[in-house]
Amino acid sequence: MLGILERYVFREVAKVFFAIVVVLMLILASLMFLRTLEEVNLGGLGVDVVFRFLRLQMVRDASSLLPPAFFLAILITLSRLSRDSELVALNASGVGPPRIYRTLLLLAIPVAGLTAWFALFLQPQAAAGIQEIRLQQREQAAQIAGLQPGRFYVEEGGDVVVYIGAIDRAKSLGDVFILDRRGETARLVVSDGGQHRIEEATGDHIVTLSSGHRFDGNPGLGSFLVGDFAQYQIRIQSSGATRRTSSKRATAPTARLIGSSDPADRAELEHRFGAPLAIFTLAVLAIPLVGISPRQKTSGRLFLAFLAYFSFFNLQRLAETWLEIGVTPPWLGSLWYQLVILGIVYLVLLPESFWIKRLRLRLTTLRAG
């Protein structure tokens, strides 16, 4: 059970953490909303999916916000307690660094659980929803830009000419005329209707016709092949650069990544597990970065705190990239960066640590005795 003073520290850190999360969420939502409006203005996103798209982005990035928010909450709270000499009073009352460690680690348990829920379950679902929205918008944009009713669609240097009389919202085509001169024999296809879709992997147009007529032959020659068909499909390459296949690792369920031996899948999996683990690492990291007494110099510790903060997340991306491309061995993984940052900070602060001071005091007492 936590004592009154420990509950006080617990409550103060929790309040600051909640305030920081709210502020960061508002800032992130504002930036994403402006970016989303820019995409709408450029025609890359429909007005009807703006708020759903924004909500999915917020859910996707929530797990990345919680660890730094918790780290800042501990630093701000302990710095305020140190400035007001409350840490000195707590230490004099028996609530020293070991009990503060225990208090903050107990607070880190529910925060890490919330972070794990976002990172392991909600984040891939949100990423899949974002990918689905973008794919739908690309298909609609390609349909509007290329296949418009009542006009000719010319592609592949004029070798393919398509005329579509009508297109409805379900991508159903009406009164279709296709002239295909890509082979040795020209092919003319006419149909009363069909369907149009965009292939996700390549961005090519796939036109599927039903119940039409086909004429094979070259102009000026007497040999023509005439026939009827129940279904006919033609592929028209995208006019732009071939669309790269979007990575599906971010959308893959965590359970699927656990059984994969692909280094890239493992890097994605450890990225998700790294978020809740970072809650505990950053909590242990933040405590020694704040001096107990307000008389202690804080400029060096503050600089070390900012350096550790930026190094932590930059080294995270570097470690995941190294694991994905095979620079680091599979047995090492990509979570080693947390131990490295933790070890460096504690090594720098070792001469001023509570344990070293306590050891020095015991040695001094033994020598005096």
Mean pLDDT computed over 256-279 = 91
Nearest to 251 by CA among 108, 121, 107: 121
Q: What is the pTM of this model?
A: 0.69
- Please, what's the largest Cα pairwise distance for the chain? 119
Both structure tokens of 107: 């607070």
Tell me 47's DSSP state: G
Closest CA to 313 of 66, 50, 38: 66
pLDDT in tens, 290-299: 876 666 656 6
Q: Say if residues 356 and 289 touch (Cβ distance below 8 Å).
A: no
Q: Give pLDDT tens digits for 212-251.
A: 888 888 877 767 788 888 888 877 766 544 444 445 688 8
Residue 21 identity? V
Q: Which amino acid is at 213?
A: H
Can you read off the two tokens belonging to residue 347?
A: 């090594």
The answer to whether 143 and 196 are in contact (CB under 8 A) is: yes
Q: Are 127 and 59 in contact (CB under 8 A)?
A: no
What pLDDT, on the 0 to 100 scale, is given for residue 141?
54
With cut-offs at 50, 70 and 90, classify the pLDDT of residue 126.
very high
Q: Tell me the HSE value of 225 on the side-chain side, using a 13 A CA sphere.
A: 6
